[in-house]
Amino acid sequence: MKKIALVGAVDRNNYGDLLFPIILKEWLSSKNRNLEFINYGVVSSDLTKIGAIPSKKISDLEYDGPDALIIVGGATLNSAWKFTHLHLLENENKILLYRILYKIIGKRNAEKLSSKILNGRSRYPWIFSKGEYKLKNCQLIYNTVSGTDFSYFSEKEKKIIANYLSEADYLSVRDPLTKMNLQDLGVGEVHMVPDSAVIMSELFPKKILKTMVSEEYKAFEKKNASKKYMVFQIGKKYSSDEKEIAKQLYKYCQEKELSLVLLPIGRAGMHEDQIPLKKIYEYCKNEIEVYLPENNTIFDTMSYIGNSELFSGTSLHGNITAISYCVKTVGLDNRVKKLKYFLEEYYIDSYPYAENSRHIYDELVKSDGLEIKDIIASKNRLIDLVTDHFQQLLEILD
């Protein structure tokens, strides 16, 4: 058996990060039964209750001796220990206190402190040198990762990052800006591939999903079997006027005779979708039929979106889930650069996108003009690209 380490931000309740190892393991193991997969986050975790794969802590790599290490995806290339630590904090007050502390002690000391807190044994959380963790004889693979902004790092650090990435046996990124950034740093061969999560509907078709959802979702499905609904999501940092957002949502749902599902996709620190969605729920509950899941699993999230009429939100992987299951989607907020880059590069022409929360209703109306055949064509093209990419990974691992 060949031992494969799947490494990523898989130790916090954030849908996209938890998806990556599930998808990689599902696809690769279906093609090669001689691969053994072990999941690693910065800290050990057990989020099996929401459908995730348990993770060991990255520092265990030194003792486990994998044959190959795959950084599973996400915005990992421009992440530092400080930001990784903040994302793992679940208490809003703790996040604020550490932000203040890190500002007082400065960048260099903040990195040292956060790395020590997390028992970090590498220079960066998600960029590896084969001189770290005894990886000298280990294949090093980056799977559709992203790094759209390296401004946090000094010129010296950027050169070190470029040297580390040049040690990779295969490096793939998910957007053109990351590819350009790496080429500017002098990194050699960089492949550009759509975010690999888009293949989820091939691995988990709706018929299979029905057997994987929670009791909470089953209860929702039973109650709403004959009702059509749309799904909305927004991250806490992008939500400022929940009352106005609610007005636009219930106006559209009333006109289209839709129910509304307010779906928390990222519950981890610095995502916290549940906070603004709870406020929106309170403004909507007397106007339309609205539902706010309390404990949605990864597979519930796929199902809520995959069986809806329409999705809108700031979540990249919420939008990708909609595309994968051929559901109309409306991106939200120009500040979400990774979502804009994905839709501009890979989605249909003239896609609806609300530049901020004041324009949600107008873009929802615009989505009525989307043709499902165009979404299907876009989805099939993306899946073909990801399948070819996975085939390359398989050949490297063989």
Helix, strand, coil shares, percent, the chain, to 5? 50, 15, 35
- Rounded CA-CA distance 247/22 in Å is 37
Identity at 129, one-letter amino acid code? S
Tell me how crowded residue 332 is: count the other CB atoms within 10 A of its CB.
Answer: 30
Mind giving me the DSSP string for 159-181?
Answer: HHHHHHHTT-SEEEESSHHHHHH
Q: What is the mean pLDDT of each run of 10 residues along the chain (398 residues)?
A: 95 94 97 94 94 94 93 91 85 84 89 89 91 92 92 89 95 94 92 97 96 97 91 94 96 97 90 94 96 97 98 97 97 94 92 94 96 95 98 94
- Give the 3-state secondary structure of residue 59: helix
Which phi and psi angles does 205 have, rounded to 5°?
A: -60, 160
Separation between Cα atoms, residue 9 and residue 45, nearest integer Å: 11
Under 8 Å between Cβ of 327 and 310: yes
Average pLDDT of the chain to the nearest whole number? 94
The C-alpha R_g of the chain, in whole angstroms, comes to 21
Q: Give the fold, CATH level 3, of 199-380.
A: Rossmann fold (3.40.50)
**CATH number for the domain running over 2-192:** 3.40.50
Give 232-270 pLDDT, tens digit per residue: 999 999 998 999 999 999 999 999 999 999 999 999 877
Q: Where are the domains of the chain?
A: 2-192, 199-380
pLDDT of residue 90: 74
Tell me, rounded to whole angstroms, the distance of Cα 177 from its chain centroid.
Answer: 18
Entry pTM: 0.95
**Residue whose token pair is 């000094």:** 154
Euclidean distance between CA atoms 159 and 378, whole angstroms = 37
Cβ-based neighbours of 50, under 8 Å, separated by 6 or more: 13, 18, 295, 296, 297, 298
Are 143 and 105 spatial neighbours (Cβ–Cβ below 8 Å)? Answer: no
CA 370 to each of CA 231, 350, 373: distance values in angstroms, whole numbers, following the listed order: 17, 9, 9
